[in-house]
């Protein structure tokens, strides 16, 4: 019995004037024992990850979560009077909630009998009120939790977020092996997108999700897919993940294999179309569960007669980099995506779209076509990840870019570095310029063979390549560990492309740096990229803020037809022209010789 309890017992039935005996009241903490009356302090106890000091330090992640769960249970008990053990919990909860209100300046302690009568009188009227209050408090806690993690949700009947992976066991019965794999991989706590997207998908809800680059979207869809498929079955593909590039597809494939180890799931990619048609076609054994692919390879199989793949058992269709795949025209996959959607005919099929950037038309499409869609976005929409230090660098001209690159090499840099250019041609040109600089440099673009691309990615991951020159091929989704610096050698064609490019660094909470070169020619697009930089709290030259914004029509035009730039070369134009003339002259004289010989 502590001093407080002793004081309470001795004082039973007595009136205590707090105002008059304020010194004693303070000493025995009368009226301020459990909570401080400020409700914001009650909310502070909701620090699920125990990051905060002070009040919340005493209730760790799980404890606080248990409180939340208890409340849910308690609420159920209010409706279900018959269950005795839970009744006790309810009583405790009621007393805790009401206790706060009882802390008036003057407290009246009546005899225990009187108190009992009064409590019984009150109970009937309070039941409804308290249940409403509890629900209100629960919602408040959920909202507080979402706000804290910048989770924005839209939709009806929204599933509550999870705070720990262990909750997947308590509430959704995740297989112990899968949970173990997640924890063994070093994923201790879910990221915000995982907190909300996983329960949404586990409730079988269709989803449009956006979260910053490097924030764990892959796991956010991989975990619920594996959980919902429960176990391997010989029904053909039951989940399909589409991504815009083969590099990204194989990364997702690897991640799925890693976390499903020991569960028996058969996860595939399409390597050679002809082999795939035999393996997955009508005469196949159907012994496979998940397919990760780019749209074109899948369309190729679907178009064969009879189709080289059957998607009628697909229950989950996940579109990663959804805004890219929804783009139409040469660079997009909108038509292919439409054919794939149509081929997934099961009434059970549910769709989920993921990306770091939000496109208006994807959102509209989802609202019109998905069933009771839930929209989840983390942080401000279409913003760059906050862990990247961003810099805009005026380099004057194309030659200025090369000089700036060489300067950077000379000064020394910490690899690995990714350098983005706008076209295959320019990637080749820059590679030829940098190959003699004494640094391990390589280049990757769509014209290289698949084998070359795989080798390059592998060597870059292994640290054998320090500087990798690339095109948009590597702009989205690719998760290279520890890229220190991204250089936008060519200014990106849109702020969306900028966000994805610089998102190759500063991933999973690590810090990174991005330097973006610009010349006079890049003026039209400067303002929108500068806005992104400024929003992330990085400096932007004052004069750029005054530049005019482009109309959306103009923006689209810039994406479809990027700026024509002078070729990348340190050799002066005059010499290049001369060399070209010499080459043409040489070819002509050869032709002349052969003609003369023939005649």
Ligand X SMILES: Nc1ncnc2c1ncn2[C@@H]1O[C@H](COP(=O)(O)OP(=O)(O)OP(=O)(O)O)[C@@H](O)[C@H]1O
Q: Which residues bind ligand X (CB under 6 A)?
A: 187, 190-191, 194, 211, 213-219, 356, 477, 479, 503, 507-508
| Residue 333 neighbours by CB under 8 Å, 6+ apart | 244, 295, 296, 324, 325, 326, 327
* Region of 40-48, 213-221, 254-262, 365-373 interacting with Mg ion (CB under 5 A): 213-221
Please tell me whether residue 217 binds Mg ion under the rule CB under 5 A: yes
Taking the least distance from each CB to ligand X, the nearer of 159 and 379 is: 379
Q: Which is nearer to ligand X, 141 or 507 (CB)?
A: 507
Is the CB of 149 or the CB of 217 nearer to Mg ion?
Answer: 217
Closer residue to ligand X, CB minimum distance, 130 or 294? 294
Helices (H), 46-191: 61-79, 84-102, 112-148, 167-172, 176-184
Instruction: Find which of Mg ion, ligand X, none residue 351 binds, CB within 5 to 8 Å per kind.
Output: none
Work out whether 504 is an interface residue with Mg ion (CB under 5 A).
no
Q: How far apart are CA 323 and CA 359, in angstroms?
A: 6
- Residue 214 interacting with Mg ion (CB under 5 A): no
Q: Any idea what DSSP says for residue 551?
A: P
Residue 477 falls in which region: left (phi positive, over 0), alpha (psi -120 to 50) or beta: left
Among candidate residues 232, 225, 264, the one with its CA nearest the CA of residue 349: 225
Distance of closest approach, residue 110 Cβ to ligand X, in angstroms: 53
Kindly write down the DSSP assignment for every residue of 383-429, as one continuous string: ---TTEEEEEEEEESHHHHHHHHHHHHHH---S-EEEE-SSHHHHHH
In degrees and rounded to multiples of 5, residue 349 shows phi and psi of -65, 135
CA distances from 174 to 48, 199, 230, 231, 260 (A): 21, 12, 9, 11, 12
222 binds, among Mg ion, ligand X, none (CB under 5 to 8 A by kind): none
Specify the stretch interacting with Mg ion by CB under 5 A; choose among 90-98, 128-136, 160-168, 471-479. 471-479
My answer on whether omega of the bond before 551 falls inside 30° of 0, hence cis, is no
Q: Residue 347 gets which letter from DSSP?
A: T
To the nearest whole angstrom, how small is the minimum distance from the Cβ of residue 478 to Mg ion? 8
CA separation for the pair 405, 523 (Å, rounded):
21
- Minimum distance between the CB of residue 164 and ligand X, rounded to whole angstroms? 10
Residue closer to ligand X by CB (options 97, 487) is 487
**Residue 356 interaction partner, one of ligand X, Mg ion, none, beta carbon < 5-8 Å per kind:** ligand X
What does 503 bind: ligand X, Mg ion, none (CB cut-off 5 to 8 Å by kind)? ligand X
Q: Is 161 in the site for Mg ion (CB under 5 A)?
A: no
Q: How far is the CB of 446 from Mg ion (least distance, A)?
A: 20
- Distance between first and last Cα of the chain: 120
**Beta-carbon count within 10 A of 48 CB:** 24
Check residue 477 for interaction with Mg ion (CB under 5 A): yes
- From the list ligand X, Mg ion, none, partner contacted by residue 215 (C-beta under 5 to 8 A by kind): ligand X
Given Mg ion, ligand X, none, residue 159, with its beta carbon under 5 to 8 Å by kind, binds: none
Q: Decide the pairing of beta strands 485-488 and 441-444.
A: unpaired
CB-nearer residue toward ligand X: 197 or 291 = 197
- CB 505 → Mg ion: shortest distance, Å? 14
**Footprint on this chain of Mg ion (rule: CB under 5 A):** 217, 477
């Amino acid at each position: 019995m502590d001093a407080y309890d002793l004081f309470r017992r001795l004082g039973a039935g007595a009136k205590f004037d707090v105002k008059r005996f304020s010194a004693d009241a303070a000493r025995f903490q009368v009226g301020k024992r459990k909570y401080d009356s400020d409700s914001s302090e009650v909310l502070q106890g909701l620090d699920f990850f125990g990051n905060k000091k002070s009040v919340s330090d005493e209730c760790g992640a799980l404890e606080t979560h248990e409180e939340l769960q208890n409340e849910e249970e308690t609420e159920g008990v209010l409706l279900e009077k018959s269950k005795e053990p839970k009744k006790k919990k309810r009583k405790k909860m009621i007393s805790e909630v009401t206790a706060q209100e009882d802390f008036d300046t003057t407290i009246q302690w009546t005899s225990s009998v009187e108190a009992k009568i009064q409590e019984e009188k009150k109970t009937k009227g309070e039941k409804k009120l308290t249940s409403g209050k509890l629900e209100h408090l629960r919602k408040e806690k959920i909202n507080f939790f979402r706000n804290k993690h910048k989770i924005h949700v839209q939709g009806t009947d929204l599933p509550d977020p999870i705070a720990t992976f262990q909750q997947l066991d308590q509430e959704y019965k995740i297989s112990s092996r899968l949970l173990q794999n997640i924890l063994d991989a070093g994923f201790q706590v879910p990221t915000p997108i995982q907190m909300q997207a996983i329960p949404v998908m586990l409730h079988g809800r269709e989803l449009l999700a956006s979260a910053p680059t490097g924030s764990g979207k892959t796991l956010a869809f991989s975990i619920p897919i594996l959980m919902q498929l429960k176990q391997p079955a010989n029904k053909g593909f039951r989940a399909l993940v589409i991504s815009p590039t083969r590099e990204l597809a194989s990364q997702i494939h690897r991640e799925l294999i890693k976390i499903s180890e020991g569960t028996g799931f058969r996860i595939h990619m399409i390597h050679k179309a002809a082999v795939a048609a035999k393996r997955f076609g009508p005469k196949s054994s159907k012994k496979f569960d998940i397919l990760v692919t780019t749209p074109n390879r899948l369309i190729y199989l679907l178009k064969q007669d009879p189709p080289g793949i059957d998607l009628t058992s697909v229950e989950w269709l996940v579109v990663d980099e959804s805004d890219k795949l929804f783009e139409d025209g040469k660079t997009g996959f909108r038509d292919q995506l439409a054919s794939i959607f149509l081929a997934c005919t099961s009434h059970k099929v549910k769709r989920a779209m993921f990306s770091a950037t939000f496109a208006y038309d994807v959102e509209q499409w989802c609202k019109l076509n998905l069933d009771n869609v839930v929209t989840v976005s983390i942080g401000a929409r279409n913003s760059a990840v906050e862990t990247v230090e961003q810099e805009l660098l005026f380099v004057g001209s194309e030659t200025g870019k090369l000089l700036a690159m060489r300067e950077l090499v000379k000064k020394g840099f910490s690899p690995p570095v990714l350098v983005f250019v706008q076209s295959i041609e320019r990637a080749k040109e820059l590679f030829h310029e940098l190959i003699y600089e004494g640094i391990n440099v390589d280049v990757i673009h769509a014209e290289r063979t698949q084998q070359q691309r795989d080798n390059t990615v592998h060597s870059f991951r292994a640290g054998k390549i320090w500087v990798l020159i690339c095109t948009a091929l590597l702009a989205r989704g690719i998760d290279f560990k520890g890229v220190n610096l991204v250089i936008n050698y060519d200014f990106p064609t849109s702020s969306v492309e900028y966000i994805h490019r610089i998102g190759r660094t500063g991933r999973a909470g690590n810090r990174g740096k991005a330097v973006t070169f610009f010349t006079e020619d890049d003026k039209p697009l400067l303002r929108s990229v500068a806005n992104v930089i400024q929003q992330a709290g990085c400096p932007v030259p004052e004069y750029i803020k005054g530049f005019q914004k482009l109309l959306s029509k103009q923006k689209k035009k810039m994406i479809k037809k990027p700026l024509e730039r002078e070729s990348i070369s340190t050799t002066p134009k005059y010499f290049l022209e001369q060399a070209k003339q010499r080459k043409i002259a040489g070819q002509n004289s050869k032709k002349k010789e052969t003609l003369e010989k023939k005649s």
